[in-house]
């Protein structure tokens, strides 16, 4: 199915509503009209393409199913998105347009389950965020990396550090290095500098 639009009216399924929409779904219209999608004794299970779902003027999607913990269940898969997907009266939100049990407003995780087809990569997102927050000091002798973006991924706290090239004798990056074996009674590794010729 392409881009269904229910300006005034309803789509209902007695034992649930299950469908794949290659375009977005619009219920109601900004200029007026209200649309409904209701599943009685079943769940709403939709795969939505395009920009997602738009609802206007009190339009809603509802599931009434006493076998579900919230009184109903709405499952939405946004095939072409990695976030968002729901616009209610022009605002990006999931609040207010999804109901379970006939009147209870569903919230994410409570009667409303949303998944996405385009998954963002948390590692590459963190690396991009780190590169965008990199600051170079004067003279090019050090680089400070802040806010590596891993806080929400690995959960311990913000990582911050300074790497200094050169500086003090016997150190590289502000850290003293040991060779790991005892050669001639000297455990300290020596800095070696290479040269390039064209």
Q: What is the pLDDT of residue 102?
A: 84
Q: What is the pLDDT of residue 147?
A: 40
Higher pLDDT, 196 or 103: 103
Q: What is the pLDDT of residue 12?
A: 73
Nearest alpha carbon to residue 106 among 43, 47, 51, 57: 43
Q: What is the DSSP string of 95-133?
A: SSSEEETTTEEPEETBEEEEEESS---HHHHHHHHHHHT
Cβ-proximal residues to 174 (8 Å cutoff; 6+ apart), any chain: 162, 163, 164, 167, 168
Higher pLDDT, 6 or 89: 89
Q: Is the pLDDT of residue 161 over 50?
A: no
Tell me how far CA of residue 154 lies from CA of 35, 49, 132, 161, in angstroms. 43, 32, 20, 17
| pTM greater than 0.95 | no
The answer to whether the Cα torsion of 11, 16, 21, 27 is positive or negative is positive
Higher pLDDT, 3 or 133: 133
């Amino acid at each position: 199915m392409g881009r269904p639009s229910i300006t005034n009216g309803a789509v209902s399924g007695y034992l649930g509503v299950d469908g794949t929409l290659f375009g977005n779904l619009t219920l109601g219209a900004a200029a007026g009209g209200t649309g409904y999608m209701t599943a009685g004794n079943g769940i709403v299970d939709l795969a939505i393409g395009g920009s997602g779902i738009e609802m206007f003027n009190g339009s809603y999607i509802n599931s009434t199913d006493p076998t579900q913990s919230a009184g109903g269940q709405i499952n939405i898969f946004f095939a072409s998105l990695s976030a968002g997907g729901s616009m209610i009266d022009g605002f990006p939100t999931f609040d207010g347009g999804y109901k379970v049990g006939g009147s209870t407003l569903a919230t994410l995780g409570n009667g409303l389950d949303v998944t996405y087809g385009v998954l963002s990569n948390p590692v590459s997102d963190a690396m991009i965020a780190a590169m965008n927050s990199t600051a170079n000091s004067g003279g090019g002798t050090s680089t400070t990396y802040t806010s590596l973006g891993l806080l929400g991924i690995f959960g311990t706290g913000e990582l911050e550090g300074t790497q200094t090239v050169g500086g003090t004798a016997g150190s590289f990056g502000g850290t003293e290095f040991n060779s790991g074996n005892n050669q001639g009674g000297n455990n300290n590794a020596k800095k070696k500098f290479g040269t390039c010729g064209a």
